Structure 1
Amino acid sequence: MVRNQEAKERTIAGLAREGGVGVETVRYYQRRGLLETPERPEHPGFGSGVRRYGEEAVRRLRFIRSAQGAGFMLEQIAELIALDATEERARARELATERVAALDAKIAELKAARDALARLAHECSSGSAGPCPIITAFEPE
């Protein structure tokens, strides 16, 4: 039984690898309070003093990365983690709704930029004389 439990534990490098991040990212998340830092074992022998991370740490790291992928900031992720312990769905829903609104605004901004660039590309291909409208659009005034 103990052997099976040890097989599921990993070093910080193993945790980082499973989470798809670097070791320094794991340490950064620990400093920010997003991931717990396990105690160093004090027993003598092979591997003594090396912190070990279990499945919960892997789950938490993957949660952090997924939440970042959805555009949540680390402060918001910390709040979501805290809400998980309380099962406070209303606030979690509020955070998600705020994030959706921010994404909608960003999408609108990107669409406007795309449309403007497409218009400039069309103007550039029209064969009119003078400087290229794409280049002049990005020059400082």
Structure 2
Amino acid sequence: MNIGDVARKSGLPAKTIRYYEDIGLVTLPRSENGYRTFRDIELHKLTFLGRARELGFTIEDCRTLLALYEDDGRESAQVKRVAEDHLQKIDEKIAQLQSMRGTLAHLVHECAGDHRPDCPILEDLAGEQG
């Protein structure tokens, strides 16, 4: 398969596939003429990485997960630890977003949104509110 075929089948852009190769996340064999050649195993790894990235895992997390996936001697506890760490980060991000939403909802409610120039939203952004 060529890179276009693999991009279509894996759902990853060709540019992303090249990037993953550049950073050593995947090793792609090359033919004598220097073109990348893709076997089913490379397609499978790229699909794996695409799914991991959809779930928000970092590149380094993906590197760890792929290494664990390829290690027949792995312990599922190792995989779970990576996933739990990521889940904790997601929960922290959700809490931050909920706090931001609460603050912004309050400011929107407080702003009259009329023809007058005073605006609690701008005052808050400028640090002028107590």
> Do residues 120 (structure 1) and 107 (structure 2) align?
yes
Aligned AA for 1:39?
A: R
TM-score computed with the length of structure 1 as normaliser: 0.77
Q: Which residue of 2 aligns with 1:106?
A: 93
The sequence identity of aligned pairs, in percent, is 34
> Do residues 70 (structure 1) and 55 (structure 2) align?
yes
State the 1:25 CA deviation.
1.3
Q: Which residue of 1 aligns with 2:70?
A: 85
Distance (Å, rounded) in 1 between the aligned partners of 2:54 and 2:24: 19
Aligned AA for 2:53?
A: Q
CA-atom RMSD in angstroms? 2.2
Aligned AA for 1:11?
A: N
Distance (Å, rounded) in 1 between the aligned partners of 2:85 and 2:6: 31
Q: Which residue of 2 aligns with 1:57?
A: 42
TM-score computed with the length of structure 2 as normaliser: 0.82
In structure 1, runs of 5+ residues without a counterpart are 1-9, 43-47
The number of aligned residues is 125
Tell me: CA distance 1:28–1:140, structure 2 relative to 1, closer, same or farther (3 Å).
Answer: farther
Distance (Å, rounded) in 2 between the aligned partners of 1:88 and 1:66: 21
Distance (Å, rounded) in 2 between the aligned partners of 1:112 and 1:140: 17
Return the index of the structure with the highest Cα Rg. 1
In structure 2, runs of 5+ residues without a counterpart are none
Aligned AA for 1:68?
A: R
